[in-house]
Structure 1
Amino acid sequence: MDETAATAPESGAASRGFGAALSFSRWLLAPFYLLLVVGLAGLLLKALQEAWHFITHVFTATEAEVILAVLALIDLTFTGSLIVIVIFSGYENFVAKIDAGTSRNWPEWMSKIDFSGLKLKLISSIVAISAIQLLKAFMNVKGTSDRDLMWYVVVHVVFVVSGLVMAWTDRISGEGGGGKKGKGQPAAP
């Protein structure tokens, strides 16, 4: 009996230490989010390069080339938005809360999106990016093989179906609606 009493405080301390180590491990994600900021900066440079190319060739380009250039800028913008969603929502959900009071221009959605909402925003952005790629392929149908067009369509349909399935499963599980109680859902116990 003395032996059990002597090991109980030690196991409690070990358990607290292990829990603290696990809790601290979430900070290992912080460098990933910083690397995404670097990726966002690289994407900005690519967008500036695309914009420069667009501006310098706009008067000699055909209508289809102008549309393709604009679609490329939209695609880069959607991708940048996707990165921002992942950075802020991921950091808030998995690392630490961000004090929204430090900036008066803080978007309201950033502090209210939960993991379910993050998944749906991500898949929505991916579907939009895929749609832009598909539209670009159809705008350049003469320069795109039938096989490539087929794969663009297949990939896009897979993303759309995946998004619908995720939204449906979130709705069934009661996680949809940004953490708010939806219609017909029972009140929390």
Structure 2
Amino acid sequence: MSEQSVPTPASPATPRIMRGFEYVLFNSRWLMAPFYVGLVVALAVLLLKFARMLWEFVLHASGYKSTEVILDALALIDVTLVANLILIVVFSGYENFVSRIDTSGNPNWPIWITKIDFAGLKQKLLASIVAISAIHVLEAFLNIDAAFDATRMTWLVAVHLVFVISALLLALSDRWGNAHDEG
């Protein structure tokens, strides 16, 4: 008869230590909450910036040429897109990484608040960046008479194209990944 090694039972403290460690890891997600609060503060700062830009736009619009009106309107759209982006990141990030948002008692809340997963967040983020980049390229084209800088224009268009290609590649990879998961 050969002696077989019998596994020694783990000490009773080991499962308790593991559960404690897992509890700390799981609850560390709440460390993200201050980041989202900080983004809400950034949203408030953007609101102040938007209000100032709008006030100056209204005050000076009567003396503006049409291209200046368009440029100021594009600047307002730019700030609005960044604010939308912050809002999407706050809600989606909180919902995906910290805690679920209970929308049952709030029928007026947009349905997307709890429907954006991480892949959707990446796509919306890149789509917003592409839109913001397009606005900057358009502003540069509208200012082309004032001070044409071919190098700057080339860089603006190149960076915009990199954003567009990145967004397309991300969308394709997500589509291929979803097709692979379903098939």
Work out whether the TM-score is over 0.5. Answer: yes
| Residue in structure 2 matched with residue 185 of structure 1 by the alignment | 182
| Residue in structure 2 matched with residue 33 of structure 1 by the alignment | 36
1: CA distance, partners of 2:107 / 2:131: 29
Query: Which structure has the larger Rg?
Result: 2
| 1:1-150 matched pairs, under 5 angstroms | 4-7=8-11, 9-141=12-144, 142-150=146-154
2: CA distance, partners of 1:22 / 1:144: 54
Measured at CA, do residues 53 and 3 of structure 1 come closer, stay the same or move farther in structure 2, by a change above 3 Å? same
2: CA distance, partners of 1:131 / 1:28: 35
Measured at CA, do residues 30 and 60 of structure 1 come closer, stay the same or move farther in structure 2, by a change above 3 Å? same
1:11-70 alpha-carbon deviations (Å, 9 max, x no partner):
211111111101011000000000000000011111111101110011000100000000
CA RMSD of aligned residues (A): 2.0
> In the alignment, does 2:162 pair up with 1:165?
no
Measured at CA, do residues 115 and 61 of structure 1 come closer, stay the same or move farther in structure 2, by a change above 3 Å? same
Letter in 2 for 1:161: I
| Superposition deviation, residue 143 in structure 1 | 2.8
2: CA distance, partners of 1:148 / 1:87: 33
> In the alignment, does 2:159 pair up with 1:155?
yes
Letter in 2 for 1:106: W
1:78-135 alpha-carbon deviations (Å, 9 max, x no partner):
0000000000000000000011123222111111111111110111011111111111
Letter in 2 for 1:15: M
| Superposition deviation, residue 156 in structure 1 | 0.5
2: CA distance, partners of 1:127 / 1:6: 55
**Paired-residue identity, %:** 49
Structure 2 unmatched ranges of 5 or more: none
2: CA distance, partners of 1:14 / 1:126: 45
Letter in 2 for 1:152: L
Question: How many pairs does the alignment contain?
Answer: 178
2: CA distance, partners of 1:26 / 1:50: 37
TM-score, normalization by structure 1: 0.89
Structure 1 unmatched ranges of 5 or more: 175-181
Which of structure 1's runs of 4+ aligned residues deviate more than 3 A?
182-185
| Superposition deviation, residue 167 in structure 1 | 0.7
TM-score, normalization by structure 2: 0.91
Letter in 1 for 2:85: L
